Amino acid sequence: MCNFTDILTGETIKKYMTTINVKEDWLTYKNPDYSPISPSLRENRFNPTGKEAFYVASGIQVAQVEIPNYEKYELYRLKPGPYDAFDLPRFARDFDCIVQFIQSKKEGGYGICQKITEIVTSIVPTVSGILYSSSQMHKRDESGYCLAVLPPSPLLEKGFFVKVGSE
């Protein structure tokens, strides 16, 4: 178990920043009863209760595994463009702490990931998000990635989600 709070300095965070060039491959399912740009303020892996974050997956298979009962929702893609993100999988590999960041909420995984968000956004306030390994894919012994897109990313503007099939 690594003590990442001591490791995550401004220099380290900059080393693990990456640009994700989103095309049409980052997807999410959204509840049709709400606007796709209306965030849930419920606690999730990278945001505590009351804080906004939007979650997208690196492809349809990952999105379907990550969203329980995805059939009830509408499929959206993230607007294409460059997204600057903290590369948590690479950081976790380099510091031998992968398991810490894929743990369930019950195992303490959410609190650890929320602390990462807090530290990264305090040092790089314009970060678009946190790239992370899909814990649901990991449970299947497969790999896939997700991106927690964090306000106030300049990329979060009206139309940053596009309904698949409406283009």
Which residue range(s) make up the domain with 58? 4-163
End-to-end CA distance of the chain: 46
**Residue 163: its pLDDT value, please?**
86
Side chain identity at residue 134, one-letter code:
S
- Percent of the chain exceeding pLDDT 70 equals 93
Looking at the predicted structure, is the pLDDT value of residue 91 above 70? yes
Length of the chain: 167
166 versus 11: the higher-pLDDT residue is: 11
Looking at the predicted structure, is the pLDDT value of residue 134 above 70? yes
- Provide the domain count of the chain: 1
If one counts every other C-beta atom within 10 angstroms of the C-beta of residue 72, the result is 10
**3-class secondary structure, 14:** helix
If one counts every other C-beta atom within 10 angstroms of the C-beta of residue 24, the result is 12
Q: Which tokens sit at 59?
A: 């492809």
Looking at the predicted structure, is the pLDDT value of residue 136 above 90? no
Handedness of CA 38, 40, 114, 45 (dihedral sign): negative
**Residue 72: its pLDDT value, please?**
96
CB 146 within 8 A of CB 57: yes
36 versus 151: the higher-pLDDT residue is: 36
